């Protein structure tokens, strides 16, 4: 007689094992009709899943936080079924849920065309309207291999063959179509009403470039037409804000095939990049960090000792010298910082020791994953490592968390969510060490008074971490900053300090990044602001525009004065109409345009316009500088328009 506890705390007792669907029906016919899946003891299950013991149950409807995962997973199967209905020779491989949608990889004799995608989407709608029941079944592994081979599904058979012998395989069928899957899925195809196929791209089988190329069909699915429309609108807005497009328009940077995943910074882009560094350098110095710099090339033995070689070896760039020593270009800065800490004898009185570095790192990313500034192979980290005693973990973590959130606010990110990522499957260190590290980080998060969600299994290989996720102007989330508690790496690399009893102790190391990758953070900023960077960060803060050549000397002198006061200035003395100049510099997103004609020169004034087209009137250059100074000092919270 299972007792089912519902989210509101109420309980229902049944005289025999009961399915999720039956529980929903016993509550009400409306809930039974709306049920997409269940969540039993925190685990998602089908509505056909049987509950034989006492359990906590949530009925997953389209209002539930997990609804989209189930819908998108099921819609991926709908895509595969529709594709094979139209193209019987197409073989299916895998079809996971991804952010905002799903994809399915197919092996087919020719590329799918846009017309093919339209036909597949229409077939999906037809199968949805048919409201086919979705049924789960099980089969022994070897029998499942034979089953899929007989269907000509050799990729699927290979996947199953890689599963340990003796495992039972779950299959899901809808109509006559069957696929391998762990589930769960919606109870029938009629639950899948709001979807759209987006594009097709190439993908290597199992992500290995040595394998054959497959076709990856991307789609999206939602619980309502409004949500789909809003998503498509966000995509349109994201396309307008694409940092690669804006980077070209503003002459900030470029990338080219001869240096895949690396950035060629142009003068304007480099100004912004250096402004980010200068800003962070000031913040770090005020917070007690000492800036250091470690070698970019270090012997393989150091990376083996740290554990990085085993974890990241295939993603590290290496070189071999004539004497056959193998060196790796650093993929991260932490081992170098430990080496600096180890020089000399450290006392507990010296701790905390805070090292920061704008370290250039290199990591091999597959060419298909590269994406402008957002995914590169060569990037700069605002990396820091704090060596502390166990008693200092909480206070230092609280200070770092405050620093991170303060900095994000300076860049206009007030909506920041925090995730707690605990031990991954592949890690170094004992469970006891991980227990201590996770407890310490949770205590620090609680002391800082921050709310966080759990992100199971996503910690670094050496320690748990807090991940700081920014939400941008169009509602996208970007994971940037991290704070990690590491009880493993210092000991592996021989770091120690002398405690108050003259005994050697291994320090705890806190890993901290705020921007994460400066390249990626700048890409996020460009898209967040649609290229209209705040004046304190803009590559050009002020453009001086003449109406005729009679103002040239006046503006040249003014330009020199403004530059001497630390402003980034461009002077446009071209023989062009003033309307043309204003339009051109507005398109370049220059925050302030200072126009001078004969009247302004005679009175020692400038006419001030903003890039948004607002006329702020005439003022003396010094008044402008004073008002702009207030804006720059407030990081854009107050502008000349206020």
DSSP secondary structure string, 407-462? Answer: HHHHTT---EEEEEE---SS--S-HHHHHHHHHHHHHHHHHHT---EEETT-SBTT
Nearest Cα residue to 71 out of 228, 229, 223, 230: 223
Catalytic residue among 46, 116, 383, 572: 383
E-assigned strands of 190-332? Answer: 194-204, 213-222, 253-254, 264-265, 290-291, 297-299, 318-320, 326-329
Gyration radius of the chain's alpha carbons = 30
Q: Which residues partner with 136 through β-bridges?
A: 172
What is the rounded distance in angstroms from the CA atom of residue 92 to the CA atom of residue 216?
10
362 flagged as catalytic: no
Degrees to nearest 5, angle at CA 136 with 130 and 140: 140
Catalytic residue among 151, 234, 300, 363: 363
Q: Supply the angle between the helices 114-130 and 67-86 in degrees, to the nearest 10.
A: 110
Close Cβ partners of 33 (under 8 Å, ≥ 6 residues apart): none
Unique residue bearing structure tokens 């819609």: 75
**Quick check: bond before 179 cis, omega within 30?**
no
Catalytic residue among 308, 385, 423, 512: 385
Backbone region of residue 175 per phi and psi (left: phi > 0; alpha: psi in -120 to 50; beta: other values): left
DSSP collapsed to 3 states, 17-42 = CEEHHHHHHHHCHHHHHHCCEEEECC
Half-sphere exposure for 439 (CA within 13 Å, toward CB): 8
What is the rounded distance in angstroms from the CA atom of residue 481 to the CA atom of residue 517?
9
C-beta pairs of 102-105 under 8 Å, 24+ apart in sequence: 102/72, 102/73, 102/75, 102/76, 102/218, 102/219, 102/220, 102/221, 103/76, 103/216, 103/217, 103/218, 103/219, 104/76, 104/79, 104/80, 104/216, 104/217, 105/203, 105/205, 105/214, 105/215, 105/216, 105/217
Half-sphere exposure for 521 (CA within 13 Å, toward CB): 28
385 flagged as catalytic: yes
Q: Is the dihedral of CA 101, 102, 103, 104 positive or negative?
A: negative
CA 223 vs. chain centroid, Å, equals 24
185 flagged as catalytic: no
334 flagged as catalytic: yes
Q: Which residues partner with 130 through β-bridges?
A: none
**Dihedrals φ, ψ of 227, to 5°?**
-65, -40
Catalytic residue among 334, 422, 589, 627: 334
Which pair of tokens denotes residue 557?
A: 């002198």
64 flagged as catalytic: no
Catalytic residue among 123, 511, 568, 581: 511
Element (H, E) at 306: helix 300-306
Half-sphere exposure for 533 (CA within 13 Å, toward CB): 29
DSSP collapsed to 3 states, 227-243 = HHHHHHHHHHHHHHCCH
Exposed/middle/buried for 75, CB within 10 Å: 0-12, 13-18, 19+?
A: buried
10 Å Cβ neighbour count for 504?
Answer: 9
Nearest Cα residue to 219 out of 117, 308, 317, 305: 117
Catalytic residue among 465, 492, 611, 627: 465
194 and 62 in contact (C-beta within 8 Å)? no
Catalytic positions: 334, 363, 381, 383, 385, 465, 511
């Amino acid at each position: 007689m299972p007792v089912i506890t519902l989210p509101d705390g109420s309980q229902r007792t049944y005289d025999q094992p009961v399915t999720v669907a039956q529980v929903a029906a016993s509550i009400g016919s409306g809930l039974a009709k709306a049920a997409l899946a269940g969540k039993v003891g925190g685990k998602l299950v089908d509505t056909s899943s049987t509950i034989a013991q006492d359990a906590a149950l949530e009925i997953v409807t389209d209002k539930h936080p997990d609804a989209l995962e189930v819908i998108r997973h099921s819609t991926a199967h709908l895509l595969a079924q529709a594709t094979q209905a139209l193209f019987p020779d197409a073989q299916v491989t895998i079809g996971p849920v991804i952010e905002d949608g799903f994809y399915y990889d197919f092996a087919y004799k020719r590329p799918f065309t846009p017309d093919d995608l339209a036909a597949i989407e229409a077939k999906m709608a037809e199968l949805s309207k048919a409201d086919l029941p979705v049924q789960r079944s099980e089969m022994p592994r070897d029998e499942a291999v034979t089953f899929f081979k007989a269907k000509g599904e050799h990729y699927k058979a290979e996947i199953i063959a890689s599963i340990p012998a003796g495992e039972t395989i779950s299959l899901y069928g809808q109509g006559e179509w069957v696929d391998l899957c762990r589930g769960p899925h919606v109870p029938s195809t009629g639950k899948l009403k709001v979807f759209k196929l987006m594009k097709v791209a190439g993908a290597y089988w199992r992500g290995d470039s040595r394998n054959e190329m497959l076709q990856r069909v991307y789609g999206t699915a939602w619980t309502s037409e409004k949500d789909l429309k809003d998503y498509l609108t966000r995509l349109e807005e994201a396309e307008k804000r694409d940092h690669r497009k804006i980077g070209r328009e503003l002459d900030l940077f470029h990338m080219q095939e001869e240096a895949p995943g690396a950035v060629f910074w142009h003068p304007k882009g480099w100004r912004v990049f250096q402004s980010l560094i200068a800003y962070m350098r000031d913040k770090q110095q005020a917070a007690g960090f000492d800036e250091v710099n470690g070698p970019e090339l270090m012997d393989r033995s150091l990376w083996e000792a740290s554990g990085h070689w085993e974890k990241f070896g295939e993603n590290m760039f290496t070189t071999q010298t004539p004497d056959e020593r193998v060196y790796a270009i650093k993929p991260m800065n932490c081992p170098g910082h430990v080496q600096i800490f180890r020089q000399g004898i450290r006392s507990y009185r010296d701790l905390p020791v805070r090292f920061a570095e704008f370290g250039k790192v290199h990591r091999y990313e597959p060419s298909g994953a590269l994406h402008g500034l957002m995914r590169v192979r060569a990037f700069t980290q605002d990396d820091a490592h704090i060596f502390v005693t166990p008693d200092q973990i909480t206070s230092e973590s609280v200070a770092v968390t405050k620093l991170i959130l303060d900095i994000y606010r300076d860049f206009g990110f007030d909506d920041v969510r925090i995730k707690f990522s605990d031990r991954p499957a592949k890690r170094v260190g004992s469970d006891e060490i991980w227990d201590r590290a996770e407890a310490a980080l949770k205590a620090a998060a609680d002391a800082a008074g921050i709310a966080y969600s759990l992100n199971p299994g996503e910690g670094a290989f050496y320690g748990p971490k807090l991940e700081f996720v920014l939400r941008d102007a169009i509602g996208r989330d970007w994971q940037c900053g991290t704070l990690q508690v590491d009880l493993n790496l210092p000991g592996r690399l021989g770091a120690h300090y002398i405690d108050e009893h003259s005994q050697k102790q291994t320090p705890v190391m806190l890993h901290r990044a705020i921007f994460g990758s400066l390249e990626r953070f700048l890409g996020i900023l460009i898209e967040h602001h649609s290229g209209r960077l705040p004046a304190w960060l803009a590559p050009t803060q002020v453009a001086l525009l003449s109406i005729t050549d009679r103002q040239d000397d006046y503006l040249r002198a003014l330009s020199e004065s403004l530059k001497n006061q630390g402003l980034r200035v461009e002077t446009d003395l071209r023989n062009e109409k003033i309307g043309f100049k204003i339009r051109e510099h507005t398109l370049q997103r220059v925050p302030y345009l200072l126009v001078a004609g004969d009247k302004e020169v005679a009175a020692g004034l400038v006419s001030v316009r903003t890039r948004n087209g607002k006329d702020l009137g005439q003022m003396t250059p010094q008044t402008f500088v004073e008002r702009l100074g207030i804006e720059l000092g407030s990081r854009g919270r107050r502008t000349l328009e206020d």
